[in-house]
Every structure is written in C-alpha cells, then in structure tokens.
A and B are shown apart, each in its own frame.
Chain A
Amino acid sequence: MPFQWPWQYDFPPFFTIQPNLSSREKQLEAWARLIIDYCQFHNIHSLDLNEVAKSEIFNNTRINRSLNEAGIRTVFDYLEEKEHIEWTDKTKKRCRIYWRRPEEWGELLYEWASSNGLLNTVITLTDIIEGEDTANESFAGLEKPILIRAIESLQSQRRAVLVELNNEIGGVKFL
C-alpha cells in the first residue's frame, strides 16, 4: 500500500505559509503530521534539509506547488518546538526525527517493563532494541540515541535510571 497523502498535500495554499496565525497553526500542524507520518512510513530517522527540500514531500508536481526554503525552515522550527526533531549540526541542516516524542517512547517503555515484571532489574539497551522478547513491541529497532533520550525523560521523573556497562551507557533500570 502506497503512502497516503493527506488532503492538505493537494491543497495549493498549503505550500504558502499562511499570514493568518490561526490558519498557520493548522497548516504547520498538518505539515508536521505529514513529515512524521512520511518518515515513519519510509523508516526514516534522520533528515538533511538540503536533500529533503528537493523531495516529493515539499514539491507536489501534480499541482505545481513547492514549499520554499523559508517555508521549510518555518516547518522545521515548528517540529523542533514540538520536540519531534533534534538538530545534529550547528548550521541546523541535519536533524534526527522522532516519530514519537521522547516522552511518548518513555511511557511505552515503562509500560512494557512494568507489565512484564521487569521493574527494578537492569536490562541492556541492546535487549530492548534487538531482543527476542521485544520483537513485536513498537520500540523494536529503535535507534539507540532516541532510546536514551526516552529513558532520560523517564529519569527526570525518577521512573528509570541509566546504567553504565563497560564504561558506556548500556543498560536501564525501570523503577
């Protein structure tokens, strides 16, 4: 099944950043949702703005509309604000994209741990991401940096603690 574009994608003014603030809010929300869904569908975890500016996401040839550089910048500022992306370079051209915000992943992880009787035991991050027991979980195959960010958000709520193994972060204990 091919990617399902939302109705906004074929709506010509979608590619013009709206002057009216409440319309713009709706527009940016729709752009954010589109980018996140697209990345999830294609299993994309990081983006390069120079490349993505040429992709079909921001260029709808069927209706002859494109989102320009300034528009793309606005959309990514919005994504950053909503904590769905994190810049990985100083020029803000490359970023990691989180289909789910770190807090959301954190919740899912905690729920999994507590419903599997794994609280207060150390679990390796590798087991979480690549283990047999978690193969069917939504976080299977999650990238390590994102997993760590997720656990960090739980850590700030005192619901988990990262554990060092062999001098690097390798495990977690859900409390």
Chain B
Amino acid sequence: MASRRRGIGVGAVQRNQQIQAKFAAKGEELASEQLQRLSQQLEIFTQRLEEFARKHRDEIRKNSQFRRHFQEMCTQVGVDPLASSKGFWAEKLGVGDFYYELAVQIIEVCLSTNHINGGLMSVDELRNRLMKSRSRTRKEAISQDDVIRAVKKLKDLGHGFKLIELKCGRYLVQSVPRELSKDDTQIWQLAEENNGYVTAELIQQKFSWDTIRTSSALEKIVKDGMAWVDNQTSDNMTYYWFPALFFEQFNQISSSDSISGSTSSANY
C-alpha cells in the first residue's frame, strides 16, 4: 500500500520525537525516583553512622584496643581519620581530637624534659609521663600504639620528631634533631641493659669493636651531651652514664616513694 512505502515522513519523524520524548520523560521519572530512594537511603545511612559514632565515641576515648582496631580498619579502607581533624570520622568520633590533644601533650612533655635527656626518651617513659599528667584531668588509658601513632603524625607534620627503632620492637622518641648513628643506638641499648652506664671495656666485650671505633663512639656521645663522664669509680675505669636513662629510673622510684634514701646503697 502506498502509506507503508511512505514510512519516513514528517508524521513519522514527529511520532518518533514524541516517543523519544516520552522515553526521556519516563527516564527522568525513573531517575528521579531512584535518586529519591537513594537519597533516602543515604539519609538513613548517615543517621546510622551518626548513631554509631555517638555510641562509640566514649569507647574510642576509653578503649585503646578499640582505637587500634578502628585505625586498622581505616587503613584497609584507605581512609586516614587523622589526616584532618575536621573530617567526618574525626568530627563524629572525636578520633582526630584525641590524637591531636595527645600530640600537643607529647610536645609539652618533650619540651620540659629535653634539657635533661637531650631529646631522647623511650616510648615507655613518654607514655608514663603522659599518663601521669593526664590522671589529673581524666582517666583515659593511653597505649603504646597511641603514642607511636601520635609521634608519627608529629613527624609527618614536620615537628622535628623521629621514632628510632631498637631491638625487640621497642622505640625511642627523638624530639631534638641530632645525628644518632647506629653505633650510638647500640651503645644506648647496652647502657639500658647495664644500669644506665657503659665502659670502653664493656663495649669491646659485647660488640668486639676495635679501640679506635670504641673511643670515637664514646667521644661522640660525650660531645653530644648524651653521656656524662664519671672518674671516681672503684675499679679505675671511666664510666659513661646516660642522664636520660638515669632520670627515667629516678622518676619511677620517686613516684612511688621519697627521693634519695629509698633505694639501697649502690656499689659502683
């Protein structure tokens, strides 16, 4: 028939347009329905998140294991809740605040002890001091992990902080820039195991270093102010004592009972 052969004509085009327009309209309708549903879901999701945050905010502050778990989760997901204290997580969960405050306290502790320990302190000691200063305001526990994370943040922000790894997963916090060589760190560890001091003989005995290496290492730690010289020993050897280590021990003793006289006579 003639009309079939005239399929493509103005009328057909118009009809096509109409159909397309109807599809488009339907599409938009569908899309907006979906969007609405999606935004409803998002709203519910957000509410749930906020509930979660509210419920666990206290736990985050009190429970260091929970904090660690949370941090590990974030790492897996690729989120850094400490990156900005204004981020959603930080805001809702108060995580950012917690570490921010901790970092500020760490800086305070280090500033007030640097003149004695030359800017070197074990994570243990730092944690003890933080706990002591916090117990006046609140009783939250701080874990070693918390301290290490906060120091790492400080390092990233360029505050001159550095973590030095000793053996057995222990760390030193360095808050004053200094050149700590491997030899320095080894001697430090040796002193830690030897009541806070070393001698040339002890170094050579434990590490088998030659005389030159030993004496230049000892010269360096004295020059750095890391170690003090003691010439009154009963065995006529020079002892090299570390004020930082001694001060740590001293604080631990004095926090429990009175100073000087509480420990038994020492034989040096």
Contacts and interface: CB of A to CB of B under 8 A. Distances in A.
Contacts of B171: none
A13 B261 contact: no
A65 interface: yes
A9 B229 CA distance: 15
B229 A16 contact: yes
A117 interface: no
Interface string B222-238: 11010011111110000
Interface string A121-158: 00000000000000000000000000000000000000
Given A12-B232, A16-B232, A7 B225 contact: no
Contacts of B233: 12
A83 interface: no
Interface stretch (A20-28, A36-44, A85-93, A106-114): A20-28
A7 B250 contact: yes
A63 B264 CA distance: 10
B259 A4 contact: yes
B239 interface: yes
Q: Name the prevailing secondary structure of the B interface residues.
A: mixed
Interface residues of A, number: 23
Contacts of B231: 16
Interface stretch (B58-66, B89-97, B102-110, B241-249): B241-249
Contact of B228 (A4, A7, A13, A63): A13
A13 B229 CA distance: 6
A18 B229 contact: yes
Interface centre among B233, B243, B260, by most chain A C-beta atoms within 10 angstroms, is: B260
B1 interface: no
B229 A11 contact: no
A15 interface: yes
A27 B243 CA distance: 11
A97 B90 CA distance: 57
B115 interface: yes
Contact of B225 (A14, A22, A66): A22
A10 interface: yes
A12 B243 contact: no
Contacts of B216: none
A63 B222 contact: no
A66 B259 CA distance: 19
Interface string B182-213: 00000000000000010000000000000000
Contacts of A12: 197, 230, 232-233, 239, 241, 268
Interface of A: 4-5, 7, 9-16, 18-20, 22-23, 26-27, 62-66
